[in-house]
Amino acid sequence: MSDPTHNINPHYKKHPAVSYTVDQCKHGIADQNPAILSFLISKAESRIPKDHELLYKVLQDIEDTGHSRVIALSGAPGVGKSTFANSYGQYLISKGLKIAVLPVDPSSNISRGSILGDKTRMEDIVTSAQVYIKPMPSSLSVGGVAPASFLATHICRLAQFDYIFLETVGVGQSEYEARHLADLFLLLLQPGGGDDLQGIKRGIMEMADILLINKADGELESSARNSLDAYKQSLRLMLPNTYGWKPKSGLYSSVSDKYNADLSSYIESYYDYMSSDDRLISLRERQNLHYFDTHYKEILIQQLLQSNNLRAAITDLRNDIQDQKIYPYIALQKLKALALS
């Protein structure tokens, strides 16, 4: 069993060779400069206080106009999320819009293969000056000050991209994380097969604001139409989301342009709906509070564990537990007494 106090004294990562001043960073955000955006995002889960002092100075007085549309892009592995981002991204670019694509994968520190794969599946947009693509650093790190995905999204909002796509891994935790960050949750499904077969949990289905049957082309097209009918039936049984929005569903194909306008109209109607009665403002406010509430204890603990005495006490207590000199409950009580003495 590893010693948890080990994490308190991290192996500080070396600073990257390139660095930027606060002013350069501010301008970089305003200019959507990819190098500077990536520089800032890489600071997001650093544990070096200086990095957060920099982020604090850069971010605190840039206004978030609320312009960016943040869309979670979910679906089982293999459903074609990257290819979708490439195809719909091209459509948005053709309208003169600027987009950011952030693959949100909490396990990306274990296997980064998929993310390299993502870039090759986005070959048509990856070189566009209107596109910024940034795979997320791990948010699993125990010591991370805060999941980088929230901060990365925040930075892209401040850079006023028209669209920010949070591409999830389609299973479990990353979906819920993305739901807490995005305005709109877009779920891609395979033609044919129920949601069980796709490994999509009902809980994830129920988060969808827009549901697309992807790969509606070639020999899968009729199967996609049947699937759409089936999903429309089951969507009818679902409750509207918190704000009363009833999910829309449609077909999509990444090999033709024919469904882009439809999708675009779904997205417009979602934003029209959410913009009235301050729904979008309320959603974003709840997300901001959720972020704060989820992380403030961790922040406080990190501050507390800066104390060498406390860290030494924890190590001693663990040794005593191991040597059966103290019961763990008694050890916790002793620690409590020490904490603020």
Where on the chain is the footprint of its own copies (CB under 8 A)? 1, 4, 52, 55-56, 59-60, 64, 145-146, 150-151, 154, 285-286, 288-293, 295-297, 299-306, 310, 314, 317-318, 321-322, 324, 327-333, 335-336, 339-340
User: CB of 41: closest distance to its own copies in angstroms?
Assistant: 12
User: CB of 236: closest distance to its own copies in angstroms?
Assistant: 28
Q: Which among 72, 83, 69, 264 has a CA at the least distance from the CA of 190? A: 83
How many H-runs (helices) and E-runs (strands) does the chain carry? 13, 7
Helix 81-94 vs helix 260-275: crossing angle, to nearest 10: 80
User: Do 321 and 3 contact (CB within 8 A), yes or no?
Assistant: no
User: CB of 17: closest distance to its own copies in angstroms?
Assistant: 26
In whole angstroms, give the CA distance from residue 263 to residue 222.
Answer: 19
- In the complex with its own copies, the residue whose CB is nearer, 97 or 338, is 338
- In the complex with its own copies, the residue whose CB is nearer, 150 or 161, is 150
In whole angstroms, give the CA distance from residue 129 to residue 146.
Answer: 29
User: CB of 64: closest distance to its own copies in angstroms?
Assistant: 7
- In the complex with its own copies, the residue whose CB is nearer, 3 or 229, is 3
- In the complex with its own copies, the residue whose CB is nearer, 158 or 267, is 158
Backbone angles phi, psi at 147, to 5 degrees: -55, 130
User: CB of 188: closest distance to its own copies in angstroms?
Assistant: 27
- In the complex with its own copies, the residue whose CB is nearer, 235 or 335, is 335
| 3-class SS letters over 50-115 | HHHHHHHHHHCCCCCCCCCEEEEEECCCCCCHHHHHHHHHHHHHHCCCCEEEEECCCCCCCCCHHH
Amino acid letter, 253 = S
